[in-house]
Structure 1
Amino acid sequence: MKPTRFIDSVNCAVQGIIYTVRTQKHMRWHFLAALVLLLAALLFRVTPVEFMLLSLSVSFVLFAELLNTAVETAVDMITPEYHPLAKIAKDVAAGAVLVASFGAAVLGYLVLAKYIFPLYREGLSVVGTSSEMGTIVSVLLVVIVVIILKAVTGKGTPLHGGVPSGHAAVAFAIATSITLNTQEPLISLLCYLLAIMVSHSRLLLRIHTLREVIFGAMVGTALAAGVSTLFHFVG
């Protein structure tokens, strides 16, 4: 029955939010991202206007995810079997979440970049600038280590499958080397974004598991940073 009291309407709304959080993995990630974003805003003491913009962007993403869940549930109730129109409805609702998330990411970058980037530059300066020779050595060392690890584990080939993901390792090694060479946070962010896209492709192709990709990313990043630090202090 339709609730007649205001408190009953509020309870129904809260139940809808709880259902979405319990059943939708993406909603849980959105809430986690919102928590991190708001804690960062508190830590960096953003202005009231900036906090208002961040809060609106977070609310919009959560709102879009709630609507997406409502659309998916309604479509499943009408036609539990596959139907082209049902797929379109779900895809459009998911697209709304993607657009909202992209807008929130851009807004978060514009607001928080001036607080985070100076700290990021200081952290990069501790490791030091990577030399041309250091970059070449880093990539070659990553390739050699990946081949050795795959030979030890006996899984996959140097270019396909196995532990760790060679593509992820090399991609993150290159991203780390470019980051240390440029010392520019925006370039670093874009390079790591490309590295993540390369790593994600290995998951989409079902060539590697998530654990293998993460391990490869850690190997590539650690070796590139370690070689750069070694060349920085030795030089």
Structure 2
Amino acid sequence: MWVTKLLRSFVYALEGLKYTVITQRNMRIHFLIALAVLFFALYLPISKLEVLVVFITIILVLFAELINTAVEAVVDMVTEEYHPLAKIAKDVAAGAVLLTAGLAVIVGISVFYPYLDKLFIRLTAGTSYPANIGLAVIIVFDFFLTLLLKGWCHRVEKHTWEPSMTSSISLCISTLLILVTGNLHITFLVLLLLMMLVGMRLRYQPRRLSVVIGGILGIFVATIGLQLL
């Protein structure tokens, strides 16, 4: 029966989505971001056309990730050894995901920016901080506190808990810039640079917990320090 075949095709399609979500970390990240974006799309008073554009963009990103997973599976099935053409196939498929993700970022900023700007201004109203020597004191304090904690963790042999100095200082400076300027444009640029830096640290740092703890420490010191200025 054609109905049975149709139902089986839906089952197979769902199995493919399930496999991708379970095995691919990037797909899980895409799904979480998509859920957050759809939540904001329902909450904010955006037009039906903007909702449609956002929805199509989300589908494009997920589609590209599905194709990337399929290409990787086929390449791994054909050969388990390193081959230049296999690398090209995987890199091109990953490039497609990167392009669609970049498109999603552009669409998201274009659609949500006016509402985020108003929200950002409302949240930062009356919370401007003076850009004085106190900011340098906060950064220096964060440096010595991170160094002290690293020494303590090393002494008690809790090496995995040692905060990353790079992450701590970077997050501290980034938080200070965001809170002092109170400008959404600068906030986006700071977050972009921060994502690139943290991404590189997580990729090449064998102890990722160290990066996370360092980042949390930097944000905490910057936030508390500004309150004391």
Please, what TM-score do these two structures have when normalized by structure 2? 0.90
Change (3 A) 1:162 1:205: farther
Query: Could you tell me which residue of structure 2 aligns to residue 133 of structure 1?
Result: 133
How many Å separate the matches in 1 of 2:70 and 2:204? 30
Mapping for residues 1-235 of structure 1, pairs under 5 Å: 5-125=5-125, 127-154=127-154, 163-206=162-205, 209-231=207-229
What amino acid maps onto 1:188 in structure 2? T
Change (3 A) 1:204 1:27: closer
Query: Matched residue of 1:191: which SS?
Result: helix
Displacement of 1:104? 0.4
Deviates more, 1:49-58 or 1:129-138: 129-138
Q: Deviations over 1:153-193 (max 9, x none)?
A: 127xxxxx972111111111111111122110120121122
Change (3 A) 1:78 1:211: same
The count of corresponding residues between Structure 1 and Structure 2 is 223
Q: Which runs of 5+ in 1 are unaligned?
A: 156-160
Q: CA RMSD in A?
A: 2.0
Displacement of 1:27? 1.0
Percent identity, aligned pairs only, is 36
Please, what TM-score do these two structures have when normalized by structure 1? 0.87
Query: Matched residue of 1:164: which SS?
Result: coil
Q: Which runs of 5+ in 2 are unaligned?
A: none
What amino acid maps onto 2:182 in structure 1? Q
What amino acid maps onto 1:42 in structure 2? L
